[in-house]
Structure 1
Amino acid sequence: MLRSLARAARPAAIALARSSPVVRANVGAISAFRNYATAKPATSEVTSILEDRISGLNTAVDIQETGRVLSIGDGIARVYGLKNCQAEEMVEFSS
């Protein structure tokens, strides 16, 4: 039964495939987009973007945390308990 059903449906599938429109891609638009996506900005453009971002940067930081000083020596302090501090980071201590 399945074979006879497949045989009966085959001519209709072929006719449908022949009548459906063929889609062709616009190769010029695709290559233009590819060139635009891979184009590199000029050095002066990158410089001006970076200068704008740096000049608008707010450098005022006021984070206060409490930790425990384990040892002090040669201008280096070993501190425990500062969650937002990383190794070799400059930290200001209040006296």
Structure 2
Amino acid sequence: MLNHTMSMQVGENPQHYLDRVKSSFQDELKAIPKIIDSIDAQIAAERAKQPIDRKKIEQLTTLQDQYRLRQTTVTEGLTRTLPYDDIKAYISHKGDYEKQT
């Protein structure tokens, strides 16, 4: 899974930062279906083998479920605007506070 621990750079425009985070999530959302398909292929290959390695299939199925959950999480994150609005409000408030001090 891709890592979204991006931090805002010093002097970076807040909107640019938010666009960068959103773009990163969109890239991840595009990649996840390919990963899930790859895991499907691995599961099919394991089932075709003799003897069937049930533990390996179980591990792959668990991994596939984790990616499906991540896909749902990223999709919901992209459709919600509240976190972006909160970040914008925080950055704006922080800037106003720094001007006053």
Quick check: TM above 0.5?
no
The structure with more helix, counted as a fraction of residues = 2
Q: Which has the higher contact order (CA 8 A, sep 6+)?
A: 2
TM-score, normalised by the number of residues in structure 2 = 0.30
The structure with more strand, counted as a fraction of residues = 1
